[in-house]
Amino acid sequence: MNNKQKGRIQSAWNQVSRFFQSEKTIKNARVSYQVIWNLTLIVIIVGILGFSFAGGVGAGYFAALVKDEPVRSKSDLQKDIYNYEETSEIYFADKVYLGKLTSDLEREEVSIDKVSDHLKNAVIATEDEYFYEHDGVVPKAILRAVYQEFSNASVQSGGSTLTQQLIKNQVLTNEVSFERKAKEILLALRVEKFFEKEEILETYLNVSTLGRNSSGRNIAGVQAAAEGIFGIDAKDLNLAQSAFIAGLPQSPFGYTPYTQQGELKDNLDPGINRMKTVLKRMHSNGYITKEQYDKAQKYDITKDFIGKKTLPSEKYPWLTYEIEKRSIDILSLYLAKEDGYEEKDLKNDDLHEQYLALADRNLRQNGYKIYSTINKKIYNKMQEVTENYPNFGYDKSQTIIDPDTKESKIVQEPVETGAVLIENKTGKIISFVGGRDFKREQTNHATASLRPNGSTMKPLLVYGPGIDLGKLSPGSVTANVPVSIPDGSGKLWQPRNYGGGSLTGLATARDSLKNSYNIPAALFYMKIINQNPVSYLEKMGFTSLTKADHSNPSLSLGAMTNGVTVEENVNAYTTFANSGDFIDAYMIDKIVSKDGEVIYKHKTKPVEVFSPQAAYLTLDMMRDVVNSGTAASVKNRLAFSSDWAGKTGTGQDYKDAWFVATNPNVTFGTWIGYDTPKSLQGTYNGLEYNKRNIYYWADLMNAAYAVDSKLVDPDKRFEMPGGIVSRSFCAATGLLPSDSCQKAGLVKTDLFIAEQAPTQGDTSLMDGQYVSVGSRRYTALSETPSEFTSGGFVLNSKSIEAIGLKYVNDPNSLIPGGDKWGDVVGTSATLNDNGKVPEPLSITMNGNTISWGLHPEGDVVGYRVYQNGQKVASISAGSDLVYKVGSNGGSYYVTAVDIVGKESAPSQSVKTVAAKPTTFVDKKDSKPNSSKQDKDGKKEDTKNNEDKKTEPEDDKNQDMTEKDEKDIAEEEE
């Protein structure tokens, strides 16, 4: 710079200095400063006033928004934020886990110490990075959210802390409004004041909605997510798995890997990308190292997704729904009692329905643990046997109405089944079979289906009560012939033994039960029907009886108005094994709340039904059913031997087949039949319906034995209580045997309750004479020729009125014949003289044998044979009507003699020629020898032929015996 330039700059500076130093300039500057300062103060003051006004307005607005929100105490908040649904769990016996009950949302509570640290850190890094620093809200986040809301910004960042999200989910609604947001902030501040950070985090981890599991069920809470997505517990989650779950809350159903059907989605990228975002935030916030981050980013999470998981309701449909139903019944009573009601109050249908609905909701939301009595291994084995059993029977056509088209169509209906296994001393239901295919038919045939129980009713309603009431003993005798019994409606009921046969004249109670004779059971029932025997069924848990059942004689054979379930029928039989005490069967052992409180524990309450002596005698009679009666075929089918006592049963027209049996430990029963009742009669795979059911029973018991032999096959037998004696009795009356009874061979021995043992002597049999006509026997009259009578015993009808004689159609039928009854005849079995002389006979001669037929007049009792006018033989009308003439020739005829001795005119005469003397010749004379050989040979052939003739007869008798045995085996209701 030159001097000239410097001079100009100096000159300019001097001028500026003089300007600022002049009084005028100073004065003007002073005035301007004052003005600017005043303006600045005004702006500051106005700003402060404006901010204060705005803050006041804002505060007032906030106060207005939350004015209706109550000031909640810690206990109130605790109740609200911990009030979340938790799925109830069900268990087999011995605390073996079964699964979760069906609910809209599956959740399982977990404590914070049982959650992976990776998962806790992932949630904080993703949802609330300042969680451990704030007091429930982050102001700048709220201001940012408010600004974005007012500016309608395209990017909306969340302004809620975990505490606020917890309040939104558990206390408030999802409504989008300033009022809800204001309440959320207020409550978040109070939550932070009352609860520790770990408590808040634990609750958040349990309430978050996290998509679906591998069964397609909606899930909430990290434990349900860990189990449902990866098949592990929340504490075992690795870093990548934790990040995946932590990313789900932003879009649960967008990021979840499963469809509603429980299948993996085709596109898993959204959830995987979200997982990587979570990992990035964890790294940014210092929760993981760079090495951990890189490794987790490359982790193949898809290999950890478990496949489709079958729900308990799919694998165990009958069991799951049965446990659910019974639990609801129990909880409804529990909740009603908590509200001050008593059990009797629930007889009000409206109130009952109200508490059933409440119990149903609680069961699905309150996380109960329900412990059942069902043995998992036995239950599984029984389902397997049922699935593979080949002998149920034919499918039959059934017309139904299609629920969609409302048109009728024909379907094939299979034979269905139900079975129940009960532990006697406790009443625990160990196992059951609800049916063959739940998808086809959902009815539980073990616990819900009502069917008539056929002859399985007899021990429960006839023999057990009859013995207990002192009206019966195993040796009691009654008629087993056609009878007519008034049914109370003015009509006559004529029970019959199945097949129409097996009419034995008289029968003991033991033989009647063993062979399932219906007529004796009906007559025995008539002896006690006026003593309300139905009350015994009610004590033993029958719940479907009607008023009409109490007076219906056919109830003795199982003809019920509504029917009975398999469970109830089997349960009743445990009474005999429990010395006469009924113990109600149960399936729910206990219910525990999520807090560990036992809110229900089953308590056994025995009900006295029979005396121990009556129970034992009924059991002892039912032993015969299994050992040699209608259920004898079960012995060869069972893989083990036990002290079984039981009863078979058949419904009317063969529509139901039953078998129930008990041993000292367990009672087990099965039923088969069609859902729409149809006849089961007819062979299938070579087996009649009764054996198909008995074999099924045996196969199920064998399966249970393979699992727990000690349970189903105890080494002890039923023990006979005191007060029982063995006594001989007469099979004609059940009284003490007389000399006549002993001579007739009709003495039997059986067990009696000591006080009920017979004390009176039998007077039913008297010495007497009788005549036989064909297979029938009649009392001889004083005029009857003795040559046609036989010495025997007369059955006095007046002495046997107690056997139900008044209902017997034909008293003469009481003496059936046979070896033991061959010399016995009833006093009412008489022949009346027709008042005229018998007509002459017609006879025939064949070789040396004269024969004739039974005289058409019914009062003829014998025949006389005459040779050359002299009587040579008297033949009873009950014998073979033939006479072989001797070697002497002559003229023969036959006459008929009636009951009073009148003799017919002779029949036509037949003549024979006397045999020539035998000529003996020398052995060298071959011709006579040949003749003798021929004759001897002919005689030998004749003998052989006679032997051969007897063989078909023996075969026939054998066949008849086998047929009789088969009829007996099939004699049901």
Per-residue pLDDT of 465-496, as tens digits, reads 999 999 999 999 999 999 999 987 889 999 99
Q: Binning pLDDT at 50, 70 and 90, where does residue 141 land? A: low
Q: Residue 659's closest CA among 651, 676, 673, 647?
A: 647
Cα separation of 666 and 609, whole Å? 19
Lookup result for tokens 């020629």: 913
Q: What is d(CA 305, CA 282) in angstroms, rounded to the nearest whole number?
A: 23
pLDDT at 101 over 70: yes
What is the DSSP-derived secondary structure letter of residue 53? H
Check: CB of residue 214 under 8 Å from CB of residue 256.
no
Q: Which of 535, 505, 538, 540 is nearest to 520 (CA)?
A: 505
As a whole number, mean pLDDT of residues 594-604 equals 94
Q: How far apart are CA 475 and CA 455, in angstroms?
A: 20
Q: Going by C-beta distance under 8 Å and a sequence separation of 6 or more, which residues neighbour residue 561?
A: 544, 545, 546, 548, 549, 552
In 285-423, which ranges are continuous DSSP H helix? 290-297, 312-315, 317-338, 349-365, 376-388
Q: What distances in angstroms separate CA 920 from CA 409, 774, 928, 939, one per listed residue?
A: 91, 46, 8, 18
Residue 875: CB partners within 8 Å, gap ≥ 6?
862, 863, 864, 865, 881, 883
Tell me how crowded residue 325 is: count the other CB atoms within 10 A of its CB: 17
pLDDT of 774 reads: 83
One-letter amino acid for residue 466 of the chain: G
Mean pLDDT to the nearest integer, 665-686: 96
Tokens 């009878």, residue located? 483
pLDDT value, residue 947 = 41
CA 559 to chain centre: 21
What is the structure's pLDDT at 52?
46
Query: Of 944, 847, 855, 952, which is closest to residue 894 (Cα–Cα)?
Result: 855
Please give the model's pTM, rounded to 2 decimal places.
Answer: 0.77
**Residue written as tokens 């036992």?**
598
Distance separating the N- and C-terminal Cα atoms of the chain = 141
Q: Using CA atoms, how far apart are residues 200 and 165, in angstroms rounded to an integer?
A: 10
Contact 805, 791 (CB under 8 A): no
The mean pLDDT of 859-868, rounded to a whole number, is 95
CA 130 to chain centre: 58
In the predicted model, is pLDDT for residue 547 greater than 50?
yes
**Using DSSP, how many helices (H) and how many strands (E) does the chain show?**
28, 34
Identify which has the larger pLDDT, 796 or 258: 258
pLDDT in tens, 798-843: 777 888 889 998 887 787 655 556 667 665 567 889 999 999 999 9
Q: How does the average pLDDT of the chain come out, rounded?
A: 84
| pLDDT at residue 71 tops 90 | no
Q: Which of 13-22, 670-679, 692-701 has the lowest mean pLDDT?
A: 13-22
Lookup result for tokens 């299938």: 684
pLDDT the model gives residue 314 = 87
Task: Find the Cα–Cα–Cα–Cα dihedral 421, 427, 429, 430, rounded to 10°.
Answer: -70
* pLDDT of amino acid 889: 80
- Collapsing DSSP to helix, strand or coil, 619 comes out as helix
Is residue 815 within 8 Å of 829, Cβ to Cβ?
A: yes
Residue pair 665/385 in contact by the 8 Å Cβ criterion: no
More confident residue, 928 or 83: 83
Question: Are 237 and 282 in contact, with CB atoms under 8 Å apart?
Answer: no
Question: Which pLDDT score is estimated for 127?
Answer: 86
Helix (H, G, I), strand (E, B) or coil at 668: strand
The region of weakest confidence among 328-337, 664-673, 762-771, 830-839 is 762-771
- The letter for the amino acid at 63 is A
> For 709-748, b where at least 16 C-beta lie within 10 A, e where not — what string?
eebbbeeeebeebeebeebebbbbbbbbbbebbeebebbb
692 neighbors 672 (Cβ within 8 angstroms)? yes
Distance (Å, rounded) from C-alpha 412 to C-alpha 398? 6
Three-class SS state of 677: coil
Average pLDDT over residues 9-24: 62
Dist. CA 950–CA 956, nearest whole Å: 10
pLDDT at 813: 79
Q: How far apart are CA 850 and CA 892, in angstroms?
A: 9
pLDDT at 949: 36
Task: List the Cα angle 723/727/733 in 5-degree steps.
Answer: 120
Q: How far apart are CA 130 and CA 190, in angstroms?
A: 18
DSSP letter for each residue of 173-196:
----SHHHHHHHHHHHHHHHHHS-
Neighbours of 972 (CB within 10 A): 28
pLDDT at 570 over 80: yes
Q: What is the pLDDT of residues 181-239, one digit of tens each?
A: 666 676 777 777 778 889 889 988 988 889 999 888 889 899 999 999 999 999 999 99
pLDDT band at 137 (very low <50, low <70, confident <90, very high): confident
> Are the C-beta atoms of residues 693 and 659 closer than 8 Å to each other?
yes
What's the pLDDT band for 422 if we cut at 50, 70, 90? very high
- Count of Cβ atoms closer than 10 Å to residue 257 Cβ: 25
CA distance 844 to 236: 106
Percent of the chain with pLDDT strictly greater than 90: 59
For 514-521, what is the mean pLDDT? Answer: 96
Q: Using the predicted structure, report yes or no on whether residue 678 has a pLDDT greater than 70.
A: yes
288-297 LR contacts (CB < 8 Å, sep 24+): 288/121, 288/239, 292/239, 295/239, 296/239, 296/240, 296/243
pLDDT confidence of 23, banded at 50, 70, 90?
low
Phi, psi of 451 (to 5 degrees): -140, 150
- The model's confidence at residue 130, banded by pLDDT at 50, 70 and 90, is confident
Q: What pLDDT band is residue 172 in, cutting at 50, 70 and 90? A: low
Q: To which H or E segment does residue 34 belong?
A: helix 23-65
Measured CA to CA in angstroms, residue 758 lies from 730, 732, 796 at distances of 10, 13, 19
Range among 8-17, 189-198, 371-380, 958-967 with highest mean pLDDT value: 371-380
- Residue 644 and residue 704 in contact, taking contact as beta carbons nearer than 8 Å: no
Bridge partners (DSSP) listed for residue 851? 844, 882
pLDDT, one tens digit per residue, over 873-911 is 999 998 999 999 887 788 999 999 999 999 999 999 999
Mean pLDDT of 671-688: 96
Would the pLDDT of 19 be above 70? no
- 73 burial type by CB count under 10 A (0-12 exposed, 13-18 middle, 19+ buried): exposed
- The upper half-sphere exposure of residue 937, i.e. CA atoms within 13 Å in the direction of its Cβ, equals 6
